[in-house]
């Protein structure tokens, strides 16, 4: 696609290549609706580890040991909210930053729970078209347009938006439909009309044409990076690193296994606060089926930290995987099928070249996985 990230210095395994705050981020719509409490600006968890475990396991009397290592305790005294719409933030800094960048426009005030409000109607239409597992949210586009209105330098804002390379759409690629699956074509008009109704002001005209809307959907589909935060995961990391006697460590391990089993029975795989973000730097990194870097979120918020998975030399291209771990283990044919359908390119990485003579077929297990993906998303699905 004519863009790449190349190393200008050597990196060792586990070195941090860079850290980046998102251009914009937003919690997924269903994730928020199901009560996953996260800062409305940075996605930091807003639950204590006890509250989190009890909600995820649906057991109100579960006891939790070692709560002095609850990471939420570090910042819970800073929690605040918008005085008008009551959305919650992890700190006054996040509230002020959100207000400055987009919330002054996006705030629904007393209409936050009013189903007739155009933004709420738009979000509900989206939710009915895009059930979990979620790969995006229309609210990310709402936030983008609010940012545009608040932007002092609109030319710079549009240049940043253009840098994601999706505002000019190749109609033959029809990439936008991958966001929602086969039924997207039939439902697109309803979603588009709701989007237009939500942004009727003349200032937004450039975003509300059918072509621009499809381009924005394509931008979200091909450039957004999934974000996940979890107070439980942070607590587990802290307590398992404690220098405990072997007997106590074994008891703790048994407790953690039991908790995850209880949570799995009720919440299944949906453990985290989940959303997505657009990152100006991270979005420029190309894919490889043998990635030498990985995007991580070690700070329990939406700041992405790119880490080296192996030694990287000066002049070497830095690549991440657009596929998850299970997909990377599939055949070349399966990997290329997913990448071509969801990202509109044919992978020519070293691994794909080495497997170029492999048969163009998938194993029975891979086919079964694809069928499960289709049932879950209405199509092959798209992973962040």
Under 8 Å between Cβ of 43 and 229: yes
pLDDT digits (tens, 9 = 90+) for 3-34: 789 999 999 999 999 999 999 999 999 999 99
Whole-number pLDDT of residue 361: 67
| Poorest-pLDDT segment among 203-217, 316-330, 349-363 | 349-363
Share of residues in the chain with pLDDT > 70 (%): 87
Whole-number pLDDT of residue 382: 34
- E-strand ranges in the chain read 16-20, 24-27, 80-81, 88-89, 225-229, 273-278, 286-287, 293-296, 304-308, 319-320
Whole-number pLDDT of residue 322: 85
- Average pLDDT over every residue of 37-63: 96
Under 8 Å between Cβ of 37 and 230: no
pLDDT band at 372 (very low <50, low <70, confident <90, very high): very low
pTM: 0.86
- Average pLDDT over every residue of 155-168: 81
Q: Which residues have C-beta within 8 Å of that of residue 318, sequence separation ≥ 6?
A: 5, 6, 7, 17, 285, 292, 293, 306, 312
pLDDT digits (tens, 9 = 90+) for 268-292: 989 999 999 999 999 999 899 999 9
- Average pLDDT over every residue of 66-73: 93
Whole-number pLDDT of residue 178: 56
Residue 190 clears pLDDT 80, i.e. is over it = yes
Distance CA 234, CA 250 (A): 19
- Average pLDDT over every residue of 137-150: 97
The total of other beta-carbon atoms located within 10 Å of residue 59's CB is 13
Whole-number pLDDT of residue 275: 96
Whole-number pLDDT of residue 179: 53
Under 8 Å between Cβ of 274 and 45: no
pLDDT band at 182 (very low <50, low <70, confident <90, very high): low
pLDDT digits (tens, 9 = 90+) for 209-242: 988 998 888 888 888 899 999 999 999 999 999 9
Distance CA 335, CA 289 (A): 8
Whole-number pLDDT of residue 175: 53
**191 versus 384: which is more confidently predicted?**
191
Distance CA 245, CA 266 (A): 32
Residue 103 clears pLDDT 70, i.e. is over it = yes
pLDDT band at 297 (very low <50, low <70, confident <90, very high): very high
Token pair recorded at residue 67: 């709560």
- Mean pLDDT, the chain, rounded, equals 87
Residue 69 clears pLDDT 50, i.e. is over it = yes
Residue 374 clears pLDDT 80, i.e. is over it = no
Whole-number pLDDT of residue 130: 86
Residue 375 clears pLDDT 50, i.e. is over it = no
Whole-number pLDDT of residue 327: 84
**259 versus 182: which is more confidently predicted?**
259
- Average pLDDT over every residue of 327-354: 83
| Poorest-pLDDT segment among 168-177, 207-216, 249-258, 342-351 | 168-177
Under 8 Å between Cβ of 321 and 37: no
Whole-number pLDDT of residue 371: 47
**376 versus 81: which is more confidently predicted?**
81
Upstream peptide bond of 133 is cis (omega within 30 degrees of 0): yes
- Average pLDDT over every residue of 191-206: 95
């Amino acid at each position: 696609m004519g863009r790449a990230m190349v190393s200008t210095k050597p990196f060792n395994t586990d070195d941090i290549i860079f850290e980046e705050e998102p251009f914009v981020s937003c919690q997924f719509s269903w994730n928020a609706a199901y009560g996953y409490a996260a800062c409305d600006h940075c996605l930091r968890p807003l639950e204590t580890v006890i509250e989190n475990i009890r909600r995820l396991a649906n057991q109100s009397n579960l006891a939790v040991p070692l709560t002095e290592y609850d990471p939420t305790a570090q910042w819970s005294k800073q929690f605040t909210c918008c005085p008008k719409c009551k959305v919650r933030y992890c700190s006054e800094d996040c509230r002020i930053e959100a207000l400055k960048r987009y919330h002054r426009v996006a705030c629904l005030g007393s209409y936050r729970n009013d189903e007739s409000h155009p933004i709420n109607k738009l979000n509900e239409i989206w939710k009915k078209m895009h059930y979990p597992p979620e790969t995006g949210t229309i609210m990310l586009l709402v936030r983008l347009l609010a940012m545009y209105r608040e932007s002092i330098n609109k030319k710079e804002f549009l240049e940043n938006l253009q840098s994601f390379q999706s505002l000019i759409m190749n109609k033959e690629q029809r990439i936008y439909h991958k966001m929602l699956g086969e039924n997207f074509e039939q439902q697109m008009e309803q979603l588009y009309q709701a989007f237009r109704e939500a942004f009727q002001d003349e200032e937004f005209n450039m975003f509300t044409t059918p072509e621009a809307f499809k381009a924005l959907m394509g931008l979200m589909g091909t450039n957004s990076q999934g974000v996940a935060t979890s107070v439980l995961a942070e607590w587990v990391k802290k307590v398992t690193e404690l220098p405990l006697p072997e007997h106590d460590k074994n008891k703790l391990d048994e407790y953690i296994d039991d908790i995850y089993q209880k949570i799995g029975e009720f919440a299944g795989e949906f453990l985290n606060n989940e959303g997505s973000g657009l990152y100006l730097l991270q979005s420029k990194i190309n894919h490889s089926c043998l990635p030498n870097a990985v995007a991580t979120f070690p700070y329990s918020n939406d700041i992405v930290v790119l880490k080296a998975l192996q030694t990287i030399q000066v002049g070497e291209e830095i690549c991440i995987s657009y596929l998850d771990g299970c997909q990377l283990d599939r055949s070349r044919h399966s990997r290329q099928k997913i990448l071509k359908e969801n990202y509109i390119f044919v992978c020519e990485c070293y691994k794909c070249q080495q497997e170029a003579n492999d048969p163009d077929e998938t194993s029975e297990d891979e086919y079964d996985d694809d069928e499960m993906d289709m049932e879950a998303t209405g199509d092959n699905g798209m992973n962040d």
